[in-house]
């Protein structure tokens, strides 16, 4: 008996994803004998690119069951079954992770239709589900939704079973755990790495650095590189000889060092980070009535932004929260397009800057407070973060609004002025990327200590 399934997730960091939709078809080798299809409230944010891909958004999931409410049904329908999925490693990992959050170890034998197709239908240009079933003439509807993809996988699996004339290939590909097995050299490399925050360098046998990354847990991150099955990871697995690292303690210091090192070394597998890491920015201007307006727009090197964002959606989310925190007008921050009053004014949540009821001077003070909080232009300040040891702290120096570098100091050492700081700082490049890294980090980590000098 087989449980053929597909899962849609929120996207996001490895092992921090959540399920948004699941479809399971119980298949006896001839026909579907049971099925379970459901949206799931993941209780976490869905990444914008996933919303665009699947069409599943938080609004749709508001009243959907949470995973613990459907967990029993999933256990029942997959009981005594081999779990079948297209890229089973991903779906099985996500399911196990969700069950682990409930304190339950979910264990099933698995079968991957990607691996099967490579054995039974060799020579295909690609084995992605959509392109493979199209090439094989298998009809598919509702692509990138769990039910549509699971139905396509059922039809593909039927075809693969027919092609397995000897009835041995499918049997030989059933696994108890679909995780990629580490090679001995990878095990040795991982054994020598610490579970620390820092920057790591992946080297070829001749010493050339082929990839630079940062992680809050270097050992775990390298393990992910060595067990991942995407094209870049497989190339790294083939070429890696050694991994060196620099502990930073602070994630912010690691981000800054990673950015600078990638620009300096230009490793072959870091193409994405050679480019600018943000696309949108926050700008301000005064309108004809002397009110300060805010606008999220495409980042432009000729303009001086207040702060920057990885994408437009991130900027919009920031503005929605700013309206609430600083009692700003939706119209004057570009969130509500109207020639009259904004929606919040109509429900008495806006003081009326949109219809000139609130004086510009009064309204602008709150806008200036937001700008001051989210920009370090012309400021002398130091950001204090974790160090490499328990009695150490890291210091990130900003002088006259310019990032100067990072350093470490002992807790017994008192930072009193900018001259003292400059003596312990290792100089680093100031550019648009470092500004984005610092501002983005401070937005997400409210508890990080900032000293104005």
DSSP secondary structure string for all residues of 426-453: EE----HHHHHHHHHHHHH-TTSEEEE-
Q: What's the confidence (pLDDT) of residue 329? A: 96
Rounded Cα distance between 47 and 94, Å, is 16
Q: What's the confidence (pLDDT) of residue 178? A: 53
pTM across the whole model = 0.55
Query: Does residue 424 contact residue 408 with C-beta atoms inside 8 Å?
Result: yes
Per-state percent for the chain, helix, strand, coil, to nearest 5:
40, 20, 40
Q: What's the confidence (pLDDT) of residue 401? A: 86
Q: What's the confidence (pLDDT) of residue 24? A: 97
Query: Does residue 293 contact residue 286 with C-beta atoms inside 8 Å?
Result: yes
Q: What's the confidence (pLDDT) of residue 389? A: 92
Structure token pair of residue 443:
């937005």
Q: What's the confidence (pLDDT) of residue 180? A: 52
Q: What's the confidence (pLDDT) of residue 275? A: 54
Q: Name the residue among 409, 382, 379 with its Cα closest to residue 394.
A: 409
Rounded Cα distance between 292 and 285, Å, is 6
Q: What's the confidence (pLDDT) of residue 384? A: 92
pLDDT digit string (tens) for the chain, length 453 residues:
999 999 999 998 888 899 999 999 999 988 999 999 999 999 999 999 999 999 999 999 999 999 999 999 999 999 999 999 999 989 999 999 999 999 888 989 999 999 899 989 998 889 999 899 999 998 888 888 999 999 999 999 999 999 888 778 788 888 766 555 567 788 889 999 999 999 999 999 999 999 999 999 999 999 989 988 788 888 999 999 999 999 999 999 999 999 999 999 999 998 755 555 678 889 999 999 999 999 999 987 778 888 888 888 889 999 999 999 999 999 999 999 999 999 999 999 999 999 999 999 999 999 999 998 888 888 888 999 999 999 999 999 998 888 999 999 888 776 666 777 788 899 999 888 898 899 889 988 888 888 877
Structure token pair of residue 326:
């600083």
Q: What's the confidence (pLDDT) of residue 181? A: 56
Instruction: Give the strand pairing for 82-85 and 2-9.
Output: parallel
Q: What's the confidence (pLDDT) of residue 323? A: 94
């Amino acid at each position: 008996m087989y449980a053929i399934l597909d899962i849609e997730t929120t996207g996001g960091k490895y092992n921090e994803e959540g399920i948004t939709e699941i479809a399971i078809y119980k298949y006896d080798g001839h026909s579907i004998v049971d099925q379970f299809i459901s949206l799931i409230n993941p209780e976490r944010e869905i990444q914008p690119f996933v919303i665009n891909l699947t069409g599943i958004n938080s609004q749709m999931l508001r009243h959907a069951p949470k995973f613990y409410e459907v967990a029993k049904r999933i256990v029942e329908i997959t009981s005594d079954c081999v779990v079948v999925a297209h890229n089973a490693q991903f779906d099985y990992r996500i399911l196990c992770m969700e069950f682990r959050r409930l304190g339950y170890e979910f264990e099933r034998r698995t079968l991957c239709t990607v691996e099967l197709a490579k054995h039974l239908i060799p020579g295909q240009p690609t084995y992605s589900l959509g392109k493979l079933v199209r090439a094989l003439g298998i009809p598919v509807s509702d692509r990138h939704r769990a039910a549509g993809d699971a139905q396509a996988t059922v039809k593909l699996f039927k075809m693969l079973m027919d092609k397995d004339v000897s009835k041995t290939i499918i049997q030989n590909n059933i696994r108890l755990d679909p995780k990629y097995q580490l090679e001995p050299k990878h095990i040795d490399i991982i054994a020598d790495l610490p579970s620390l925050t820092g920057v790591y360098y992946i080297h070829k046998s001749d010493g050339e650095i082929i990839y630079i990354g940062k992680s809050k847990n270097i050992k775990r991150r390298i393990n992910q590189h060595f067990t991942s099955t995407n094209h870049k990871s497989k190339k790294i697995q083939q070429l890696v000889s050694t991994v060196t690292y620099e502990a930073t303690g602070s994630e912010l210091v690691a981000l800054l060092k990673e950015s600078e090192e990638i620009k300096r070394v230009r490793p072959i597998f870091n193409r994405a980070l050679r480019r600018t890491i943000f696309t949108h920015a926050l700008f301000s201007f005064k309108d004809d009535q002397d009110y300060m307006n805010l606008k999220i727009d495409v980042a432009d090197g000729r303009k001086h932004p207040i702060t920057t964002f990885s994408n437009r959606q991130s900027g919009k989310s920031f503005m929605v929260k700013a309206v609430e925190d600083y009692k700003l007008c939706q119209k004057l921050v570009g969130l509500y397009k109207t020639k009259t009053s904004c929606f919040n004014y109509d429900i008495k949540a806006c003081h009326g800057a949109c219809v000139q009821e609130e004086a510009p001077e009064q309204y602008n003070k709150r806008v200036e407070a937001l700008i001051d909080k989210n920009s370090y232009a012309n400021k002398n300040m130091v950001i204090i973060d974790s160090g490499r040891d328990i009695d150490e702290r890291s210091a990130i120096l900003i002088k006259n609004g310019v990032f100067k570098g990072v350093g470490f100091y002992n807790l017994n050492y008192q930072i009193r002025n900018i001259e003292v700081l400059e003596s312990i700082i290792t100089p680093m490049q100031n550019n648009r990327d470092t500004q984005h890294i610092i501002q983005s980090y401070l937005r997400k980590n409210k508890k990080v200590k900032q000293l104005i000098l």
